[in-house]
Amino acid sequence: KEGDTVEEVAGTLQNMIGRLPMLQPAANFLAVTMMNINSVWHPTISYGFYRSNPVPADGFDEPPLFYQGADEYTGEKLDKVSNEVLELKGVLEKRYPSLDLKDCHHVSEWMLRSYGDDIGDKSSIYKMLITNKGYRGLTHPMIEKEIDGKKKYFPNYKYRYFTEDIPCGLIVTRGIAEMAGVATPHMDDVIMWCQEVMGKEYLKDGKLAGKDLGETRAPQHYGFTDLNTFMNVNRYI
């Protein structure tokens, strides 16, 4: 409730869930929003995979591996999208010196901190994806169909990797970047591909002005077009 300190709220929540996991308060909600790992991870890996592995007309014989099926291009794309998020972080911190975004990290740092020694090769994002024990055997979301008596598999573009991680994740970060004047060409590549396979339109002519923007959590959906207004109304500064 209003008036409680961060420590008091954290203590109350810790008592509710027990000793583990240990809760650590984030600097602010904006940092958590920009550090939405799933919004970078899932759409970008999907984009990278289907870029080089077109869906066969009669489907895949088995569900393709999600993380272990990634290639070097996908690892590089993840790096570039994450760098765009960090560029946005830098612009915001410079413009608002009191803003604390220390909880927003590069995806590679997040992965190392989250999985540590479960990662066999830490030399690149691509290598971390394919050698992470925690990701072993996980597949792309699929829809199973029977064709000529055989099970075949087709991408499920209605899965949360798309229906949640785009409109409630990556689009939100993209919307903040648009207000801040930060270019996001790599993020846009991912969004444009995802919205096409989803049958949606969020980005149009380089702006968040598509016909389906109302389905998203983008700041622009709520009438925000000015960064200072957005930051002040949401009490980020």
Vertex 235 angle, CA 231 and 237, to 5°: 65
Give the CA diameter of the chain.
65
Check residue 65 and report its DSSP letter: B
CA distance 237 to 234: 8
**Residues forming a β-bridge with 207:** 204
| Helix (H) or strand (E) run with residue 129 in it | helix 125-131
Active site residue 42: yes
CA distance 181 to 225: 11
Annotated catalytic residues are 42
